[in-house]
Structure 1
Amino acid sequence: MIKKRTLLIPLVLLSILTACGTVEENTQKEKEPETDEVIDTAMITLNTAETYQTIESFGASGAWWSQDVGGWIEEETAELSKREYIAELLFDPLEGIGLTSYRYNLGAGSTLQNSPRIEDPWRRAENFEEGPEVYDWSKDENARWMLKTAGNYGIDDIYLFVNSPLTRLTKNGSAYGDQLEEKRSNLAPENYQAFANYVYDVTEHFLKEDIPVTHVSPINEPQWDWTGGQEGTYYDPAEVVALLEVFIEEKQKRPELKQIALSMPELGEWANTSKEYFEAIIESDTLMNYFDTWEVHSYWTTYVEKMNFKEWLDEQEIDVTLKMSEWTEMINGRDYTMDSALNLANEIHDDLTILDVVAWQYWIAVSSYDYRDGLIYVNLGSKEIIPTKRLWGMGNFSKFIRPGYTRVSAISDDKEVNVVSFLGKNEANEEELITVLINNSFQEKEIDLQGVGFGEIISYTTDSESDLEEQSITSQELTIPRQSIVTLKSVTTNE
C-alpha cells in the first residue's frame, strides 16, 4: 500500500545502486562511473542436495488499476486490445512474465459521497451489496474481467483481499477511519459476523462462476491508521485475533469453502510495529492451531531485520510457512530503468533466501502514478502502455521458477552478485535448474559455475538494452552484463 513514511533501505548491496532520471517513452541508461578494463570473476557454487522451500507462486495485485484498465477495449496491436495486451504481459508464460498468482481487491463500496477523503477514483472500489445479503453481481465489471482473464491463463493462486469492510458495516460509514480517533478500528465487534458473511458470500459466488479463488484475506496492514487516501482499517492485535476467529468459525460452516485458504495477518512489515501482532497471534491457541502459513509485507524492513525475524521464529520454535504478499519501492517519481528493477530483484532474493518465502507478490501490477510502483505504467489520457524494466526483472523469476520448484543452495563469492537457484520438473518432465544472477556492479562479471553438471544452458538477460533476451551458452564460464538480471535455465546431468 502507498504510505508516506521515511524509507528504510535494506542494507545489502544497495549502496552501489544509483537513482536515475526517467523519460516516459524510453528507458534511460544508468550513469556509469569510470572503471578499468579488468573483469572480475564471481564463482557461483550450487548444491542441489541442499534444499529449502518449494515455491507456490509469484504474483501481483489488481488493485486498483483493473477496475479501469479492465475496460480498455481499444486496439493495442492487430491481435489484442489494450486490456488483453496488459493481461498477456502479466500472465502469459510465453509472451509475458507468466505470473502464477493474482490478488483481487474486494472493495468496501467507497464513493466520493461516503468516503470523500478518497479523492482519487482509482483508489475507490465497488462492492457487490445492494443491501444485507442482496447482491448485484454485475458490479466491478472491469476488475472482474481481469480476474477472469487471469483465471483463464491458468493462474495457480487467486486471492480475494480486503482493505476495508463494507461501508454499511463501518462505524463512520466510510471506507477509512476517523482522523480524530487514531488507533481505533472502524469495525465494531458486533459487525464481525456480517463482514465474514459478505466476504464468504462473494467467494462462493465467484467459485460458482468458475473463478478459481484459492485464498481469502480479510485484513490488510492493520497497524496503520488509515484515515483517508484509500480504503483501509486499523485493528489492534486483540481485534485481529477476534476477527480471524469469526472468519475461521464461519468458514467451517460452509463446505463449499473447504479448499479455500484463509490468509493472515498481512502485516505491513516484518519488524517494528508488527511485533505485538505476532505476539498476539502466538498467544492464541485457535490461530496457532488453524494457521500454518503467515503472510506479511516487506515494506520498511531491512536485511538485518529480516534475519532477526527468522531467528525469532526459530527461538520461539514456531514452525510456519512464510509468504511475502505485498511490496513496492516507496519512492516518489516514475522509474522505468534497471535501477528500480535491481532493487526489486534484490528484495525478491532476500525474501527467498533469508525468510524462505514460498510466494512473492508485488503490489499494483499497473500504475498511473508518478511513483516507483507498478510493473507497467499507463498514461490515462492517451491510454499509453509502457512496460518497465521491473516487469522484465520480475519475469526473470516468475517466468522460470514455476510452482513446485524447490530452492537449492547457491552461494556467490562476490558481494556484488546475488544468486538464487531452484530445481524442478519442466513440462517435458525433465529436471531443470533455474539460476537467477543479479549483477549490481557497474562492470561486467565473469561467472564460474561450480558444483553441478549441466546440459545446454540458455540465458535470459534483462539489462538497460535487453528484456529477457535469450541466448544459448556452450560453457559453464560465462559473462553477464553490468547492472543486469540474468536467468540461467539448464537440464541437469549426472556429471
Structure 2
Amino acid sequence: MTPRGDESAATRPGHTSRRSVLAAMGTLPVLVAAPSAARAAGTPSAAAAEVVVDPFAERQTIRGFGGMNHTAWIDDLTPAQRDTAFGDGEGQMGFSVLRIPVHENRADWSGEVATARRAVEHGATVIASPWNPPSHMVETFVRGDQTDARRLRHDMYGAYAQHLNEFHAFMRDNGVDLHAVSVQNEPDYAHDWTWWTPQEMIRFLRENAGSIGTRIIAPESFQYVKSFSDPILNDPQALANLDILGAHLYGTRYEDFPYPLFEEKGRGKELWMTEVYHPNSSDSADLWPQALEVGEHIHHALVDAEFQAYVWWYIRRSYGPMREDGRISKRGANMVHFSRFVRPGYVRVDATPRPRSGVYVSAYKGGGSEIVIVAVNKGSSPVSQPFTLGDGAASRVWSWVTDADRNLAPHGAAGVSNGSFTGALPARSVTTFVTG
C-alpha cells in the first residue's frame, strides 16, 4: 500500500504535497468568586466581556470526537492504548468515534477488528472509509500530467457497493456494527489512491448506495471543497441516499467553515469532520503553546462550521493526540477537554464565542441540566472571565485546566451565584467548566 502523503519522504512530481496546503495557521486558580477577589489575592488578571450561555438556544447535536486506526500502515493500538483512547475515566481520552479503513484486500479486514471491538465495548461509534476498490475493479486513466491516475470502472459500481456491504457484514459478524461507511476517502486528492468526480459520486449515490446496509458518508473532500459537495446537495436522488456529509479540513480557512447550502438543503442529514491533523504533522504534539492551535481549531469546527463530530488522523503518532509511548500529548489534552466532557448526544448551545481577543468559548448541554463550557485562552496574559448561565439552574461549577505545566488538572468546585460565576483562564491555556 502507498503510505499516507503526510508521512512520505518525497512527493509525486506534478502535484502539491498535503503539507504544503496546510494553513499557516504561571499557575493560577481556575475559579474565583469575582474579579475583585482575584486582584485581592495578588493575581494579575485582565478583564473580559461577559460570556452569556443560553441553554435554550440549541444548535447541533454532538456525535463525538475520535481518531483513525489503520493497521496496514502502522502498528495496531495495544490493549492498554485502546482503553486510554476510548475509556472516559481519569487519565483517559473519552474518544467516542473510531475511523477505520475499508481495505481493498479482504485478507486485511481482520486486522481492524480488535481495536474496533474494544472501542464499541467502551460505547464508541465506528465508521469506515475506503482508499481503493479491489484492484480488479480499477482502471487507470490520464488526469492532467498524472498518467497512472486510478478510478473505479464504470461497469463495477454495483460490485463496489457489494464490496462495501461485505465489509459491513464482516465487521458486524465480528462484533462491530458499523455506524456508517464512506464512498471514498478524499476523492479530490487521490494522487496515491482512487479519484472520483462529483458526477461519478452522484451516480453511485443514486444507483448503488441504497443497497448498502449501513449509513453512507460522502464526499470526504480533503479540504471541504464545496464545489465537490454542492452537486450532491443539489441532486435530490443522490442526497436521498446520503446520511452524513463528511469533510476533511486540511488547510481549510476558518472563513470557509460555514456551509449555507448544507443549512438549506441538508435537513435530516448530519455533518461530520472525519479527518484532520492540525496545524501540521512535523512538530511534536507536546510543543507548547503551539498545541493550543488544536483547541482553537476544534472551537471553529464546532461553532463556525457546526460539525457534529471531530475526528483526528492517526490516534497514536508523534504529532497526534496519543504519543507513541501511549501517553496523552498536549495536542491530545486539547481534544480531551472536549471529548471527555462533551459526550455523544450533548447539544451545543449559544455562548458568547469571543469575549476578548484570543479567547474562544463554546458551550454544550447534556446529562439533565449539566452545562459544559470550553474556553481557550491563547493570550499571554491570564483572563478573569465572567460567565452567566441563562437558565440559572446551576449551583456549583467544576473545572479542569491544561497549560504549559499541567494536563487536564482538576480544580475542584466553586459556587454559582444568581446564575453567574467568574473563571480564571490562565495564560495560554484551555479550561473546561462543568456545572451541576
TM-score normalised according to structure 1 size: 0.74
Amino acid at match of 2:164: V
User: Residue 488 in 1 paired to residue 433 in 2?
Assistant: yes
Aligned partners of 2:70 and 2:76 also within 8 Å: no
Alpha carbon RMSD of aligned pairs, Å?
2.6
Residue matched to 1:417: 359
Q: CA offsets per residue over residues 210-259 of structure 1, 9 Å max, x none?
A: 212111112111111423xxxx21111111212333432422xxxxx2xx
Residue matched to 1:8: 23
Quote the offset at 1:185 in angstroms: 3.9
Quote the offset at 1:438 in angstroms: 0.4
Return closer, same or farther for 1:433/1:94 CA change in 2, 3 Å cut-off: same
Amino acid at match of 2:202: V
Return closer, same or farther for 1:68/1:471 CA change in 2, 3 Å cut-off: same
Q: How does 1:136-215 map to 2 (within 5 A)?
A: 139-155=108-124, 157-171=125-139, 181=146, 184-215=149-180
Return closer, same or farther for 1:56/1:6 CA change in 2, 3 Å cut-off: closer
Aligned partners of 2:289 and 2:404 also within 8 Å: no
Match of 2:135, SS state, is: coil
Amino acid at match of 1:399: R
Structure 1: 5+ residue stretches without partners: 11-36, 71-82, 109-126, 129-135, 252-256, 379-383
Q: CA offsets per residue over residues 72-95 of structure 1, 9 Å max, x none?
A: xxxxxxxxxxx1221122101004
Quote the offset at 1:284 in angstroms: 2.4
Q: Distance in 2 between matches of 1:205 and 1:388?
A: 34
Q: Distance in 2 between matches of 1:150 and 1:247?
A: 29
Structure 1 residue corresponding to 2:270, chosen from 314, 317, 321: 321
Aligned partners of 2:399 and 2:410 also within 8 Å: yes
Residue matched to 2:219: 265
Residue matched to 1:45: 52
Q: Distance in 1 between matches of 2:51 and 2:233?
A: 39
Q: How does 1:271-350 map to 2 (within 5 A)?
A: 274-307=225-258, 310-313=259-262, 318-319=266-267, 320-329=269-278, 330-350=280-300
Residue matched to 1:131: none
Residue matched to 1:69: 76
Amino acid at match of 2:382: E
Q: Distance in 2 between matches of 1:182 and 1:265?
A: 24
Residue matched to 1:473: 413
Match of 2:53, SS state, is: strand
User: Residue 440 in 1 paired to residue 381 in 2?
Assistant: no
Q: Distance in 2 between matches of 1:66 and 1:477?
A: 47
Aligned partners of 1:67 and 1:143 also within 8 Å: no
Percent identity between the aligned chains? 20
Q: Distance in 2 between matches of 1:413 and 1:67?
A: 42
Q: How does 1:377-416 map to 2 (within 5 A)?
A: 377-378=323-324, 384-411=325-352, 412-416=354-358
Aligned partners of 1:50 and 1:409 also within 8 Å: yes
Aligned partners of 2:230 and 2:261 also within 8 Å: no
Quote the offset at 1:439 in angstroms: 0.7
Amino acid at match of 1:480: L
Q: Distance in 2 between matches of 1:456 and 1:216?
A: 42
Quote the offset at 1:456 in angstroms: 1.7
User: Residue 217 in 1 paired to residue 166 in 2?
Assistant: no
Quote the offset at 1:140 in angstroms: 4.8
Q: Distance in 2 between matches of 1:418 and 1:4?
A: 26
Quote the offset at 1:141 in angstroms: 4.5
Amino acid at match of 1:86: Q
Match of 1:194, SS state, is: helix
Amino acid at match of 1:322: L
Aligned partners of 2:216 and 2:241 also within 8 Å: no
Quote the offset at 1:301 in angstroms: 1.2
Match of 1:241, SS state, is: helix
Q: Distance in 1 between matches of 2:277 and 2:295?
A: 11
Return closer, same or farther for 1:183/1:447 CA change in 2, 3 Å cut-off: farther
Amino acid at match of 2:198: P
Structure 2: 5+ residue stretches without partners: 7-17, 26-42, 416-420
**Residue correspondences, number:** 393
Q: Distance in 1 between matches of 2:142 and 2:157?
A: 16
Quote the offset at 1:190 in angstroms: 1.4
Q: Distance in 2 between matches of 1:286 and 1:312?
A: 17
